[in-house]
Chain A
Amino acid sequence: MLRYILGRLVSLSLSLIVASLVIFTVIEVIPGDPAAFMLGLNADDSTVAALRADLGLDGSRAECYVAWITGMVQGDFGTSYTYRVPVADLVADRLWVSLPLAVLSLILSTLIAFPIGLIAAANRGRAADYGIMGGTQLGIAVPNFWFAMLLVLVFAVNLHWFNAGGFPGWGTPIMALKSLVLPSIALALPQAAILARVMRSALIETLAQDYMRTARAKGLSRRQAVLRHALRNALIPVLTIIGLQFSFLLAGAIIIENVFFLPGLGRLIFQGITQRDLVVVESVTMLLVFAVIVVTFLVDIAYAIADPRLRRRG
């Protein structure tokens, strides 16, 4: 098990290094001068030169890269050109919105997907299955911002249970959590629809395995056999999707953040791009890559816990 974890750690660290090189190259090396790019077409040369010095671009490319990486490792993400504050502070604020939002949505989507995937698989070809499959098809097809607007209409405008948007900060945790409820539901529904379908097909495949027949021959009822033998085996493909979904939820919530006026990472990176604040874009992208790799690592460990056959491999 330890060897498996070390092996995964080595390979993911390599991915991290490769990703940082790609991000660095894309943003700084092509095309042209980032300082000139940030300042627009009409900037004069002295301003550009000043910004270059400011951004630490006055060395060789390798020096710049090393400076960027060592800075990030120490928690120095550079200074945002538009906000004039350290990127680390900007990110930290946003992360406290995006991370809880992503975690909440993921928990929600898993809680919805597991039972309905299970019910659909257990009733394959019957009315319940068709109903659930139709519902999930709808959940995938309908964009999440539409759900968001619907939720706002029903629960904020008509019922006044929640605010329609905004984020009060974590000073009052209850209020903060409350403001994340509708956005996380809107984010979770389409994810749950995908997850439920994966869960259903993984379970159906597992139900056809020989060891399910063995379980029944031992005297387990259909339900016991599914819960004791099928579920854990069906978990592997489901874990893969959960890992992918978390990565998406962390940064892919731009539209939902906009609908609910939440100051999240998605909005930060979006603003960074529109305002040509390349320092922000670069650092946030790198941070997201890091988050994705951490999640991948956790999913890999979860695989090994779920499936003993993986523990032996390096």
Chain B
Amino acid sequence: MISVDHLSLSIHGTPILRDVSFAMQPGRTFGLVGESGSGKSMTALALMQLLPEGFQTSGTASLDGINLLDRPEAEMCALRGNELGMIFQEPMTALNPVRRIGDQVAETLCIHGAAPRRDALKMARQKLDRVGLPQIALDRYPHELSGGQRQRVCIATAIALRPRLLIADEPTTALDVTTQAQILDLLRGLVEEEDMALLLITHDLAVVADMADHVAVMKAGGIVEQGTTHDVLSQQTHPYTRALFEASDHQPRRSTPDMDTGGEALLRVTNTTRHYPGPRIGLFRRGAPVRAVDGVSLGLQTGESLGLVGESGCGKSTLTRAILGLDPIQGGDIRALGYAVSPHMPRENRAGIQVVFQDPYGSFNPRWTVEHLVAEPYHLLPEAPQRDERRTQVAQALEAVGLQSSDMDKYPHEFSGGQRQRIAIARALITHPKILVLDEAVSALDVRVRAQILDLLADLQARMGLSYLFISHDLTVVRAITDRVLVMQAGKIVEEGPTRRVFEAPDHPYTRALLAAAPRLPDYARKD
């Protein structure tokens, strides 16, 4: 029995959590949902007592009567990994890259004195078998494993001593849908068999609906609503909960596109192949080349919104780079707006096709003003507007994406994630392109912000007659914003068709598997 009672937390005097109370039962899953910054992770770290420096807590968080908040550090060390296990969002970086996975699992056992090293390795073997990695040898290093496999190793380390409470902080957010489904299955099985309590932290309402018995919705450091998952999801008493649900299922209003289907495609990719040199085998020999994009053809019509979905490693990013003329192709042909696309294409031809990436912060120079950032693509134009004209143009672009013209003298760190994505869109629009490539453009955003950006994209498309190539692993988003969709697997397009048809009656087994794996909100949670 784990109960959190009036937990409040401040870090260096800044309040982070206020009056958080909830209770968990063994063998049950408790979901904690909310947007980024709502305090979900901090609640978990408070239970683990792994908070950043300068924290101050009040209230209690008790595990079978022991208040975790006032235990001395040495006692917490004995509890962590033993009674309390935790796994994190980024399996790619959660394991020590220079140590064998067997040792990392066994370490949990050794550190708590559960077994000497040799026996610990044997037990680590059993634990890895339990989490579905019977084929992975103990002496492998993390970099030799996929993301899903690494998350399984993390789970094995966390459950090695059968903790009473397992905390999973966005455990599947960085994973593909099919891998996500497998990891969630594994967690569900562990909760039942080991009779532990699972605290599942996620921003994804569908995941929580699928997994949790009880759920609490967090906002700005406090719980706004909690109850059984069914009650919370079906009643949606609190307006914030309702807003989250509406946003997560948001359909932007799109005018029926005024597509010029008969004419020549704006962007035409014909039988394109892109391969990388294979791995080295000897000093002078290499393996067979990796065919990242293998004979792909597609066409994007004026005013159309075309989706490209697929899991990581399927070749969608490689294809995107080829379409943007950043990488050479080894076969086939790409033409955009009547020009041949290649890394050597003249700059002004690049002005007609612009891109928005997932992480706007990473693609902004933090020392540039917004004006400088938004006006950057002007270097593509032979006669770029100067000074006042440039400022007017930047102001117009910012207003078009719902920002103020006065924002142009600020720096990127002064904006929120959603606003930064608006800046990235303004930057893409400044050269008046015909085609916008949106590469996971809304994937890092919270649901409500994502809904706003999708509305903005729909609005811009209607006003400016833009064509979108929308690349994403997120099926819900692709469904909401595209007219046609392509499904990519292992470098090939395996299915193509109108979005509605592909989602409702998929032909290809891979598309069916993807759709089946994607967590969906249960019908009782739909208000309409």
A binds B: yes
Show the binding face of A for B, using Cβ within 8 Å. Answer: 3, 6-7, 10, 209-211, 213-221, 224, 228-229, 232-233, 306-309, 313-314
CB of B283 within 8 A of CB of A221, answer: no
B422 CB, min distance to chain A CBs, angstroms: 30
Q: Does B495 contact A (CB under 8 A)?
A: no
CB interface residues, B 80-94, toward A, < 8 Å: 80-82, 84-86, 88, 90, 93-94
For B283, list chain A residues within 8 Å (CB). Answer: 3, 6-7, 10, 314
For A216, list chain B residues within 8 Å (CB). Answer: 50, 80
Show the binding face of B for A, using Cβ within 8 Å. Answer: 48, 50, 73-74, 77-82, 84-86, 88, 90, 93-99, 107-108, 111-112, 141, 143, 154, 157-158, 280, 282-283
CB of B98 within 8 A of CB of A306, answer: yes
For B77, list chain A residues within 8 Å (CB). Answer: 219-221
Given contacts A229-B99, A309-B143, 18 further A-B contacts (CB under 8 A): A210-B93, A211-B93, A213-B50, A213-B94, A217-B80, A217-B84, A218-B108, A218-B157, A218-B158, A219-B111, A220-B111, A229-B96, A233-B97, A306-B98, A307-B98, A308-B97, A308-B141, A309-B97
B280 closest partner in A (C-beta): A314
For A214, list chain B residues within 8 Å (CB). Answer: 88, 94-96, 154, 157
Compute how far the CA of A45 lies from the CA of B98 in the bound complex, rounded to whole angstroms: 66
B175 CB, min distance to chain A CBs, angstroms: 15
CB of B74 within 8 A of CB of A211, answer: no
B83 CB, min distance to chain A CBs, angstroms: 9
A-B contact pairs, 13 of them (CB 8 A): A210-B93, A210-B94, A214-B95, A215-B96, A217-B88, A218-B81, A218-B158, A219-B77, A219-B108, A232-B99, A306-B98, A308-B97, A308-B141
A307 closest partner in B (C-beta): B98
Compute how far the CA of A313 lies from the CA of B98 in the bound complex, rounded to whole angstroms: 15
CB of B81 within 8 A of CB of A217, answer: yes
B74 closest partner in A (C-beta): A221
B109 closest partner in A (C-beta): A218
Which one of A213, A228, A233 has the greatest number of beta carbons of chain B within 10 Å? Answer: A213
Q: What number of A-B contacts does a CB cutoff of 8 Å give? A: 83
Compute how far the CA of A309 lies from the CA of B280 in the bound complex, rounded to whole angstroms: 15
CB of A219 within 8 A of CB of B98, answer: no
For A309, list chain B residues within 8 Å (CB). Answer: 97, 141, 143
CB of B143 within 8 A of CB of A211, answer: no
CB of A3 within 8 A of CB of B88, answer: no
CB of B282 within 8 A of CB of A217, answer: no
A309 closest partner in B (C-beta): B143
For A228, list chain B residues within 8 Å (CB). Answer: 107
For B143, list chain A residues within 8 Å (CB). Answer: 308-309
For B93, list chain A residues within 8 Å (CB). Answer: 209-211
CB of A232 within 8 A of CB of B157, answer: no
With contacts A3-B280, A309-B143, A314-B283 taken as known, whether A217 is within 8 angstroms of B97 at the C-beta atoms is no
Compute how far the CA of A213 lies from the CA of B125 in the bound complex, rounded to whole angstroms: 23
Compute how far the CA of A306 lies from the CA of B99 in the bound complex, rounded to whole angstroms: 9
Compute how far the CA of A167 lies from the CA of B20 in the bound complex, rounded to whole angstroms: 74
For B88, list chain A residues within 8 Å (CB). Answer: 210, 213-214, 217
B161 CB, min distance to chain A CBs, angstroms: 9
Compute how far the CA of A232 lies from the CA of B94 in the bound complex, rounded to whole angstroms: 16
Compute how far the CA of A224 lies from the CA of B111 in the bound complex, rounded to whole angstroms: 10
Compute how far the CA of A224 lies from the CA of B73 in the bound complex, rounded to whole angstroms: 13
For A211, list chain B residues within 8 Å (CB). Answer: 93-97
CB of A307 within 8 A of CB of B97, answer: yes
Compute how far the CA of A308 lies from the CA of B100 in the bound complex, rounded to whole angstroms: 9
Compute how far the CA of A307 lies from the CA of B142 in the bound complex, rounded to whole angstroms: 11
CB of A219 within 8 A of CB of B80, answer: yes
CB of B111 within 8 A of CB of A308, answer: no
For B96, list chain A residues within 8 Å (CB). Answer: 211, 214-215, 229, 233
B81 closest partner in A (C-beta): A219
Compute how far the CA of A10 lies from the CA of B282 in the bound complex, rounded to whole angstroms: 13
B501 CB, min distance to chain A CBs, angstroms: 42
B43 CB, min distance to chain A CBs, angstroms: 15
Compute how far the CA of A210 lies from the CA of B90 in the bound complex, rounded to whole angstroms: 8
10 closest A-B pairs by beta carbon, nearest first, are A219-B81, A218-B81, A210-B93, A314-B280, A219-B80, A217-B86, A308-B141, A211-B96, A218-B108, A210-B94
Compute how far the CA of A213 lies from the CA of B95 in the bound complex, rounded to whole angstroms: 10
B102 CB, min distance to chain A CBs, angstroms: 13
CB of B107 within 8 A of CB of A218, answer: yes
Compute how far the CA of A222 lies from the CA of B188 in the bound complex, rounded to whole angstroms: 32
CB of B86 within 8 A of CB of A308, answer: no
